[in-house]
Amino acid sequence: MDDNKVEKLECPHCKSVIKKDNDFCPDCGTLFSDEVKCLEHKDTNAEGVCVICCEPLCSECGIFINEIFLCNEHGEYEIYEGMACIFGNSDSTHIGFAKSNLETEGLHPFIFSRKASSVHLNGAYYSLINVSGEYSGNLINELQLMVPFQEVIRAEEILRDLNLLE
C-alpha cells in the first residue's frame, strides 16, 4: 500500500501531484469540483481557476492557454514551467536588483536567459529583424525574471514600489 495516496492526488490534467484537499490544481488551474461558480457570473459554472489570481472563472472570463488556465487579465504572461515572466530586460544589473529585492521579501524569483530576436520593452515588442528579413544586429540576450504563479501579484507590487514596473 502506498500511504502517500491518502493525502495526495494526481491532477488528471497536468499530472502534478497535489494535496487531496485542494479544490483546484495550482499548477494548471483545473477545478476538481463542478459546484463552483464563476466569480463574475454567479449562475455560470466555473471552467477553471486562474493560476495567478486564484479566482474561479467561466469560459468567458478565462481560458486554457497551453494547458494552463488564466483569466482574461492574466492571459498575457509568458509562462514557463510553472513560472510566469513578470519583468524582461537585457540589463543584468536591473534584473539582479529586482531579483534580490524579491528574495528579501521571501519570494522565489528565477532568472531565465534566452537569446531573442525581439525584445519586450515597456509593453511593446521590438523586432531586431530589419525590413529585408535579416537580423539587423546580434541576437539580444534577453533576461526574464520569473516567479512561481502564486507569487506574481505580490512580486509585481514590490517591483512597482521600486519603480521597475509601471
Looking at residue 65, its amino acid is I
Tell whether residue 153 is a contact of Zn ion (CB under 5 A): no
In angstroms, rounded to a whole number, what is the distance separating the alpha carbons of residues 155 and 102? 6
- What does the DSSP 8-state code read for residue 138? P
Angle at 81 between CA 78 and CA 82, to 5 degrees: 85
Interacting stretch for Zn ion, rule CB under 5 A, among 2-10, 44-52, 92-100, 158-166? 44-52
Q: Which of 68, 74, 84, 116 binds Zn ion (CB under 5 A)?
A: 74
Q: What does 42-107 look like in DSSP terms, one character per residue?
A: TTSB--EE-TTT--EE-TTTEEEETTEEEETTTTT--EETTEEEEEEES-HHHHHHHHHHHHHTT-
The 90-129 site mask, x for binding Zn ion (CB under 5 A), equals: ----------------------------------------
Looking at residue 25, its amino acid is C
Interacting stretch for Zn ion, rule CB under 5 A, among 41-49, 86-94, 113-121, 139-147? 41-49
Give the interface size with Zn ion as a residue count (CB under 5 A). Answer: 19
Note whether 80 and 146 are within 8 A (CB): yes
The 8-37 site mask, x for binding Zn ion (CB under 5 A), equals: ---x-xx-x--------x-xx-x-------
Q: In the complex with Zn ion, which residue's Cβ is closer, 9 or 53?
A: 53
Please, what is the minimum distance in Å from the beta carbon of residue 51 to Zn ion? 8
Please, what is the minimum distance in Å from the beta carbon of residue 1 to Zn ion? 25
Between the CA atoms of 133, 139, 140 and 142, what dihedral angle is there, to the nearest 10 degrees?
Answer: 100
Interface positions with Zn ion (CB under 5 A) = 11, 13-14, 16, 25, 27-28, 30, 38, 40-41, 50, 52-53, 58, 60-61, 71, 74
